[in-house]
Chains A and B, each alone.
Chain A
Amino acid sequence: MRIMDIFYAFPSVLLAIAISGALGAGVGNTIIALSIVFTPPITRIAESVTTQVRGWEFMEAARASGAGTVAIIRHHMIANVLAPIFVYASTLVSVSVILASGLSFLGLGASPPHPEWGLMLNTLRQSIYVNTWVPILPGVMIFLTSMAFNLLSDGLRDAMDVRL
């Protein structure tokens, strides 16, 4: 957890730039960089949710039933812990989309011949004076995609909450 805190201390964009800068450009390296950047927040959520669930009385009731640790984790813990993690992870998808296109824009992410919106933004930057729509379109697509993922995560949260 302390090691995660060290990673958490860096601003996520800077950390992503540093890692993919060190690893070099490429789709695979972008994925690695983003995974490293988003592991600490997921770990945080997992830890705090687990601590919270562990404190609920039904965990004590499960132990009083004589169930072993594995059975308690399988039947009582997993579903309660995974749901919030899953919802949080889905919000990170939209952040990752923006961050990944940012990396490509800087030349640290996908490189030609891979098609990438961030890359397009960068290469089409010059043509903004010729035809405004050409560089705007990839930006709009990035916006729409991340927006769509945000809405999806809202939907997931509602779907996974048993109380609703």
Chain B
Amino acid sequence: MSGSKVVQDMEQSKSLLTVTHLRKYFPVRGGLLHTVQAHVKAVDGVSFEVQRGEILGIVGESGCGKSTLARLLQRLIEPDAGEIRFAGQNTLSTSASAFKAFCRQVQMVFQDPYSSLNPRMNIEAAVAFNAVVHGNSRTTARNKAWEVLRKVGLRPEQFGRRYPHELSGGQRQRVNIARALVLDPTLVILDEPVSSLDKSVQAQVLNLLQTLKHDLGLTYVFISHDLHVIEYLSDRVLVMYLGQIMEMGSAAEVSTAPLHPYTQALFASTPSMNPDERLAHPPLMGDPPNPMHPPSGCRFRTRCPHAMAQCATASPPLLQVGRNGRYVACYLYSDQTATPGPPLHPLPAAGEGTCRMSQAEKEA
């Protein structure tokens, strides 16, 4: 144990972002008195780490809490419970200056290139705004904006004075990236940055993101529902379903040998370019359950081909499988981790799927 503890400590120092037991429930109001009727469990007990310099891909179908997670990481919304540590510091302290300093380090690229740019601000001003907010004079901010616009492949002499409606989707997304990069952040959260672009532009933007990561030494949290994109770009993959982590591991391993039945189904459902490999029927039937009333125990059990009696009673904890930082939340693999039966630790009702690492931290 002590040896692995040392390894964990080393990993701890390497990790840039540590998220523990993060939870966000959105109240659903209704009825005559506008009372809280139920909660949408958008993010429910999510724990993971982002290492410095890596690309962590977060994948899952619509409504699984990916975008909520992105907003929580950027602190655009406050979590109900849990902790986000950035470079060892708890980011959930509330002071305005601390938030501003945090924004210099962590920036986000938004999904919709059309509504994420102010229609009344030209490109140059939109990018420079972030620099002005952080105390740069107008001329320095403009110079910085020009510099970063060049980096994303938009000639500032040509595009600086244009307005968002004069640009194509791909160009707008480049402006979005430029805006995120003008403050020289360490971590960039990319919330489906290419999902509304067509394939050829997607490839351009993805390659641009890779070049920028290389040149500027960035760390990405890349959120997408497109498995091809995730596989292409990320070093590690985190699979989410209904607000919980189902599987986590290196991109190569998860894509070639998915362990969790949900991940298996997800990868099996990606269309192949080979017409002989057409799917006769979809690997998964039905829709994800309502996040207001998720099924008891494992969230995936209602659609899982391997569902057992055990799955209905308690949610399987996210446990390490093997040695390569592979985590799975499924009872099918619980015997391999030498912790059979019910979860290791009775966690608070909120934080169910959790890493073993954080458990070790607790014990320490």
Q: Taking beta carbons and an 8 Å cutoff, which residues of A are in contact with B?
A: 56-58, 60-68, 71, 75-76, 79-80, 83, 162-163
Contacts and interface: CB of A to CB of B under 8 A. Distances in A.
Nearest to B108: A64
A65 B76 CA distance: 10
Contacts of A67: 129-130, 133
B267 interface: no
A24 to B, nearest CB: 44
A58 B115 contact: yes
Question: Chain A interface secondary structure, helix, strand, loop or mixed?
Answer: helix
A66 B103 contact: yes
A129 to B, nearest CB: 57
Contacts of B133: 65-68, 71
B290 interface: no
B120 A79 contact: yes
A25 B130 CA distance: 55
A80 B129 contact: no
B103 A65 contact: yes
A56 B121 CA distance: 14
B76 A64 contact: yes
17 contacts: A57-B110, A57-B116, A58-B117, A61-B108, A62-B118, A64-B108, A65-B133, A65-B179, A65-B183, A66-B99, A66-B102, A67-B129, A67-B130, A68-B133, A76-B118, A76-B121, A162-B120
A66 B110 contact: no
Given A65-B103, A162-B163, A163-B165, A75 B129 contact: yes
Given A65-B130, A66-B104, A80 B119 contact: yes
A163 B163 CA distance: 9
A60 B68 CA distance: 13
A71 B100 CA distance: 13
Nearest to A59: B118
B112 interface: yes
Contacts of B104: 66
B119 A162 contact: yes
B111 interface: yes
B96 A58 contact: no
A2 to B, nearest CB: 15
Interface in B78-113: 96, 99-100, 102-104, 107-108, 110-112
B115 A66 contact: no
A58 B118 contact: yes
B150 interface: no
B121 A75 contact: yes
Nearest to A67: B133
Contacts of B117: 58, 61
A65 B231 CA distance: 29
Nearest to B163: A162
B149 to A, nearest CB: 16
A57 B120 contact: no
Contacts of B121: 75-76
B129 A163 contact: no
Given A63-B76, A64-B76, A68-B96, A80 B165 contact: no
